[in-house]
Amino acid sequence: MSVERPEGEVDGLGAGEDPRRIVVIGAAGGIGRVLVKSLRGGGHDVVALDLQASLDRHPPDVAAIPIDVLSQDAIDAAAAAVADAGRPLDGLVNLAGYSHGVMALAETGIEAFDDTVAGNMRGVFLATKALLPLMARDASIVLVSSGLAHFIRPGHGAYAASKAGVIALAKTFALECAPSIRVNAVAPGPVQTAFLTGGTGRSDEDQASIVAVEQLATTVPLGRIAQPRDVVGPIEFLLGPQSGFMTGQVLWVNGGAYMP
């Protein structure tokens, strides 16, 4: 017999572990809010980074710093603000990302393509690079990719390419930062958040879903698409000591829809 866990509640990172200082980029998004709440519940010191509009829409109950991953200056300013606290970072999670919707690759305009790559891959590169000097020894970085990075579907070409790039970045950072810092990735399938309806901070979150959720759920062996807590658990696992011998790895979180 199973017991339903309330929405947004997951097991905390490393129960009983010493408190850690963790930066979450994209903290005001659907997954980010659940992650921040769970980390805080575990007694950890969380710094929330997101677009100012996202932080205004969903103000976190932790220290918050605005960031725009499209801007090198904004990233550098956010990193400087994080550094001002003085204490090294034990963890970094980068959830930032967005899509311009579903369209054939041959019909995708150059502006939409460049913006997608800039937001999903270039921003991850710049933000990780900026925060690396602040990471403590034995820190853990978790980058968030997508199942579409390998499980290619029509209409998601630019997004899939950018998220495949995130996996390449994670593996490269893992090699180059070893043995002092671990770097892994989580690659979810569709998650029931505002990402599907316009994105947090970039819209009113009321656009038509970019996927047919009910239809898609019928193709998933576990019978539904992911909820934020389904992704938070793997992220916390990769942040914590239980994954201490893992680096350069990808956890696919999709209810069995894709089995690499």
Alpha-carbon distance values, 259 to 147, 189, 256 (Å): 10, 11, 6
- Find the length of the chain: 260
Nearest to 123 by CA among 95, 157, 147: 95
| Dist. CA 14–CA 1, nearest whole Å | 25
Q: Which two tokens stand for residue 112?
A: 């939409």
| Dist. CA 74–CA 54, nearest whole Å | 15
Catalytic sites, residue numbers: 159
- Are the CB atoms for 209 and 196 separated by under 8 Å? yes
